[in-house]
Structure 1
Amino acid sequence: MNLDWTEEQRALHERLRDLGEKLGEEVAARERSQSLEPGDWQRCAEAGVLALPLPQEYGGPGLSPLACAYALEGLGHGCRDNGLLIALGAHMWAVELPVREFGTPEQKRRYLPALGDGRLVGAHAITEAEAGSDALALTARARRDGDTYLLSGTKRFVTNAPIADLFIVHATVDPGLGFTGVTAFLVERGQEGLTVEPGPEKTGLRTAPWGEITLQDCRVPASRRLGAEKQGSRILARTMAWERSLILAPMLGTMRRQIEDCVAHARSRVQFGRTIGRNDAVSHRIVDMRVRLEEARLLTYRAAWDLEQGIPSVFPEAAQLRTSEAAVQTFLDAMQVYGGLGYTTGTDAERNLRDALGTRISSGTSDMQRRVMAEKMGITARARRAAPARSAGGEGGGDAR
């Protein structure tokens, strides 16, 4: 894994950091209305953020996952609107990526350029009332009817749903098949039988709109099935690997900015005749914040590198787990550094903490990340029954080990 960035990669990192500083104006006010700023989304589109992972033939630079992670860290370093960053990530990694990976040539031509330049907003719809962490236990149905499918079911907690133009919807063609029956579909807004409603009020990430979608015999052409029938579980696994690896890359930049602010505060705030940074309780806390950031950064970059190499690994889950939990602890520590000021509504530390709490749930809870890692490591595999041991003479004897 080479982290010796090229001049072009460094320039993009800095350019997106500068872009981020122009985004998120009046974020505290928009939090109260739970609204995403359309102008900020369009600025990101015009700057090429949405198209970062797209091949040149579809309007993007075709950056590697590792280069995307570094670029998005720069955006997060400048941008104070974490909800916007999560909404961008859901659009890129849960919609653009699966269309890029599994779409037909016609689907790619139809959707990728528009997703990349901001004409279309994407949303990924899988979670249901009884299918959260166990995402593949969904009950939404897809019934074949000639050259179309009739989709029925309800999805909730769908990031970008209120503003989305294109939904990737997962439904089963046969509930008796379990996860093997899950199939993915591309559903356009305005499709008859599709209803979109805003979701409940959130604790954090309030500028990343979410909602609930209901499908009542929503007729979708078979040409908008994404991938093969019953391939939904494979598509979801691939999508989650990319999303878990990269959706929190901007949060690395957010933590970096918070640490820089804490350093500046510790060097200027005077108590008992000296700056608070001269107290070990404060300086050591900030050092721990930096260590957590470096751990999360290296795990994120390793996960991105594995994606680039096509290596299945535990690093997507490790990156999601460590970055989300590091963010929560870092922003808790920031509140301690700032004291009463950090507990004030509308400050960066307070808002960042509320936003970070949500990252421990989205893309799979922290507990689910550990469970998936345990499965990949073989810890939770069923024990194999050993064959009976045999003596040299051919008769059974001794312990089977």
Structure 2
Amino acid sequence: MIRWNADQLALGEGIAQWCEELSSGHLEGDAEGAFPWDKWKLIQRSGILGLPFDEQWGGLGQDLLTTMHVLERLGTGCRDGGLNFSVATHLVGVGVPLQRFGSPELKARHLPGICSGETIGAHAISETESGSDALAMRTTATREGDDFVLRGGKSFITNGPVADVFVVYARTHPSSGPLSITAFVVERDTPGLVIGPPVATMGLRTAPLSELHFDDCRIPASAVIGRVGSGFLVLDHVMKWEILCSFVISTGQMRHRLDRCVEYAKERVQFGSPIGSYQSISHKLVEMSIGLDTARKWLYDTAVRLTRGENVTRDIAVSKLLASESNLSSALAAVQIFGGSGYLAEYGLEKDLRDAVAGPIYSGTSEIQRNRVAAMLGL
């Protein structure tokens, strides 16, 4: 059990104070399906975007566990799931790899904007054809003198329509091995980068999604993050942070949902008794509580092991499975507990359910995570 110190608790309380304003109009925002620029300005003012980054870039210099604690409080208090997802993508998709692997020049150019939120970040990994098989990506980066030329396209780019800077993974060697991929920083106004229009989605609608196309997109060799051929190493680091940070937000959402459902189960009377007195309802609440506690334990225990430098391949896979699937089952149970009201948009529970459906898909599908655990069992 982690015991947060006074500074960590203060940071959590600090973001909680912004959440009522961040949540205002979230139902209307979901229906509109547009990026909430006014809420992003509040996110900038809150300081949350600088959490894990060095103070020299305008960050707060906090460790992974503290960052997760504050993000969990964001999930608990902010009802705009798409905005929460945009925040996590911005932090881990661009800022984390730049700080860990970027050259001094790349850090100086981009991290101050990432920390302040003046620059919005996105990362481009997935492609329509390769799907979960990242090593099968077809986007290429060909060396031409002092430049690389990107050709191909990426799909499912969260923050794509509004991002100012992208971390793009592309093939720099024709082989299919881990050393064939390189990570690059690509700025929005780079000639040859074509950003597709926003794509309508089932949930997380305020986190805008688009495709990217690279039509002889020329970038300097200095835009390489790390070294040529080290993209898979960069991606592995990013995915660990992405799973821990994105899904700890989900546990915050699960906490809010559970508290709301318990309160409703005590107040809602049917057949002369509160519905919480019936096992069919109370058992759902118990499962929601167990799912929340289990997901939180795995996420935070994995983060502790990661900071110690231990191998967390299995831990990350199990954490992602538990958190994403528990969040989805929790959201469905909440709709069922509220009954007809849960089906109405005005209660926000059906929105939670639509948002939760994405969890078992992004950051490596549940099937991929189970395959990974199976492989470590020798299967």
Query: TM-score scaled by structure 2?
Result: 0.97
Q: What secondary structure, in the 3-state scheme, does the structure 2 residue paired with 1:185 have?
A: strand
> Does residue 373 of structure 2 align to residue 365 of structure 1?
no
What is the one-letter code of the residue matched to 2:24? E
- What is the match of residue 270 of structure 1? 269
Distance, in Å, in 2 between the alignment partners of 1:86 and 1:373 is: 26
Whether the 8 Å contact between 2:136 and 2:176 is mirrored in structure 1 is no
What is the one-letter code of the residue matched to 2:39? D
Residues 25-62 of structure 1 deviation map (CA, whole Å, 9 limit, x = unaligned)? 22222222221211211211221111111011111122
Whether the 8 Å contact between 2:183 and 2:230 is mirrored in structure 1 is yes
Distance, in Å, in 2 between the alignment partners of 1:177 and 1:285 is: 46
- What is the match of residue 385 of structure 1? none
Q: What secondary structure, in the 3-state scheme, does the structure 2 residue paired with 1:283 have?
A: helix
What is the CA-CA distance between 1:24 and the residue it aligns to? 2.7
> Does residue 319 of structure 2 align to residue 334 of structure 1?
no
Distance, in Å, in 2 between the alignment partners of 1:198 and 1:255 is: 32
Q: What secondary structure, in the 3-state scheme, does the structure 2 residue paired with 1:220 have?
A: strand
What is the one-letter code of the residue matched to 1:327? N
Residues 304-338 of structure 1 deviation map (CA, whole Å, 9 limit, x = unaligned)? 21222122212222221111100011111111110
Whether the 8 Å contact between 2:147 and 2:219 is mirrored in structure 1 is yes
Distance, in Å, in 2 between the alignment partners of 1:134 and 1:189 is: 26
What is the CA-CA distance between 1:199 and the residue it aligns to? 4.1
Distance, in Å, in 2 between the alignment partners of 1:319 and 1:293 is: 12
Whether the 8 Å contact between 1:137 and 1:179 is mirrored in structure 2 is no
What is the one-letter code of the residue matched to 1:99? L
- What is the match of residue 249 of structure 1? 248
What is the CA-CA distance between 1:344 and the residue it aligns to? 1.3
Computing the radius of gyration from Cα coordinates, the structure with the larger value is: 1
What is the CA-CA distance between 1:365 and the residue it aligns to? 0.6
Two-structure CA RMSD over aligned residues (Å): 1.3
What is the CA-CA distance between 1:118 and the residue it aligns to? 0.8
Residues 340-360 of structure 1 deviation map (CA, whole Å, 9 limit, x = unaligned)? 100112422211111000011
Distance, in Å, in 1 between the alignment partners of 2:242 and 2:272 is: 48
**For structure 1, which runs of at least 5 residues remain unmatched after alignment?**
381-401
Whether the 8 Å contact between 2:243 and 2:316 is mirrored in structure 1 is yes
Distance, in Å, in 1 between the alignment partners of 2:335 and 2:212 is: 37
Whether the 8 Å contact between 2:332 and 2:353 is mirrored in structure 1 is yes
Distance, in Å, in 2 between the alignment partners of 1:304 and 1:338 is: 34
- What is the match of residue 107 of structure 1? 106
- What is the match of residue 171 of structure 2? 172
Query: TM-score scaled by structure 1?
Result: 0.91
- What is the match of residue 320 of structure 2? 320
Distance, in Å, in 2 between the alignment partners of 1:196 and 1:99 is: 22
What is the one-letter code of the residue matched to 2:319? A
More deviation, 93-102/57-66 = 57-66
* CA spacing shift, 1:320–1:177, aligned 2, 3 Å: closer
Distance, in Å, in 2 between the alignment partners of 1:92 and 1:246 is: 9
What is the one-letter code of the residue matched to 1:58? W
**For structure 2, which runs of at least 5 residues remain unmatched after alignment?**
none
Alignment of 1:1-400 (within 5 A): 3-313=2-312, 314-375=314-375, 377-380=376-379
Whether the 8 Å contact between 2:200 and 2:209 is mirrored in structure 1 is no
What is the one-letter code of the residue matched to 2:167? I
Whether the 8 Å contact between 1:123 and 1:166 is mirrored in structure 2 is yes
Q: How many residues align?
A: 378
Q: What secondary structure, in the 3-state scheme, does the structure 1 residue paired with 2:40 have?
A: helix
Distance, in Å, in 1 between the alignment partners of 2:360 and 2:198 is: 19
Distance, in Å, in 2 between the alignment partners of 1:193 and 1:284 is: 55
What is the one-letter code of the residue matched to 2:318? A
What is the CA-CA distance between 1:102 and the residue it aligns to? 0.5
- What is the match of residue 396 of structure 1? none
Distance, in Å, in 1 between the alignment partners of 2:228 and 2:281 is: 56
Q: What secondary structure, in the 3-state scheme, does the structure 2 residue paired with 1:84 have?
A: helix
Whether the 8 Å contact between 2:265 and 2:274 is mirrored in structure 1 is yes
What is the one-letter code of the residue matched to 2:340? G
Q: What secondary structure, in the 3-state scheme, does the structure 1 residue paired with 2:196 have?
A: strand
- What is the match of residue 394 of structure 1? none
What is the CA-CA distance between 1:180 and the residue it aligns to? 2.0
More deviation, 162-171/30-39 = 30-39
Distance, in Å, in 2 between the alignment partners of 1:72 and 1:318 is: 20
